Structure 1
Amino acid sequence: MRKPRDFDSELKALADKARQLRERRVRQLGELVTATGADALDVDVLAGALLHATTVKDAATKEGWRKTGSVFFLGKGGKPAGGPSGQQSGTLPLGDGATSA
């Protein structure tokens, strides 16, 4: 006879994994703000800029932003890759100070 599945523990494991993924995303977004130097902006200014960016419908403007972001992550922009912190090209710092490839 088959052992019955423990749905409660499976749901708990999935919920834990979802929580870990949300926490990782929030941490990476914070690292991105720091890497771009946007942490020097006033919180209200940063929030306003992000809110504006989410409402822009112009495809050409979004494409320009995408290209600028791509150049930033490749380390070919005016700033060193990773912004003021001098991270390696295309990486964000990890929690332990190491960098990802």
Structure 2
Amino acid sequence: MRKPRDFDAELKALEDKARDLKGRKMQQLGELVIATGADALSPEELAGALIVLAETKDTGKREAWAKRGAAFFRSRSRRTARPTDRDAGRTPTQPDSTQPASGGTGEA
């Protein structure tokens, strides 16, 4: 006979995983702000710049910001990665949703 599924336990496990992922995302966003030097801005300035970034529809600007962000992550990974990490083919974790914003804080 088949064992019945415990939907409550599965739901709780998914909620716990979602909470962990949200916490990790928040931590990574904070680390990104610090790594880019944007922590020197006031919260109002940072929020304003991010709002302008989010509202920008100009694909040329967004592509330029994405390229600048990608270059930022490449240069950071070279400075912080140990030679054994690079030899193993591992890449540092990058928050996908924030990558274009990292280069745009100075161009808003």
**Secondary structure of the corresponding residue to residue 47 of structure 2:** helix
CA RMSD of aligned residues (A): 1.6
Would you say 1:45 and 2:45 are equivalent positions?
A: yes
**Secondary structure of the corresponding residue to residue 2 of structure 1:** coil
Cα displacement string for residues 22-50 of structure 1 (whole angstroms, at most 9, x for unaligned residues): 10000000000000000001110000000
Give the gaps of 5 or more residues in structure 2.
82-90, 93-108
Structure-1 residue corresponding to 2:12:
12
Give the TM-score, by structure 2 length. Answer: 0.71
Structure-1 residue corresponding to 2:80:
88
Q: Which stretches of structure 1, 4 residues or more, deviate above 2 A after TM superposition?
A: none
**Secondary structure of the corresponding residue to residue 3 of structure 1:** coil
In structure 2, what residue type is equivalent to 1:53?
L
Greater share of helix: 2
Would you say 1:33 and 2:25 are equivalent positions?
A: no
Give the TM-score, by structure 1 length. Answer: 0.76
Aligned mates of 2:26, 2:34 — CA distance in 1: 13
Would you say 1:72 and 2:64 are equivalent positions?
A: no
In structure 2, what residue type is equivalent to 1:61?
K
Structure-2 residue corresponding to 1:97:
none
Structure 1 residue 88, shift from structure 2 partner: 1.3
Map residues 46-65 of structure 1 onto 2, 5 A cutoff.
Answer: 46-65=46-65
User: Per chain length, whose mean CA-contact separation is higher, i.e. which structure has more relative contact order (CA < 8 Å, sep 6+)?
Assistant: 2
Aligned mates of 1:57, 1:3 — CA distance in 2: 53
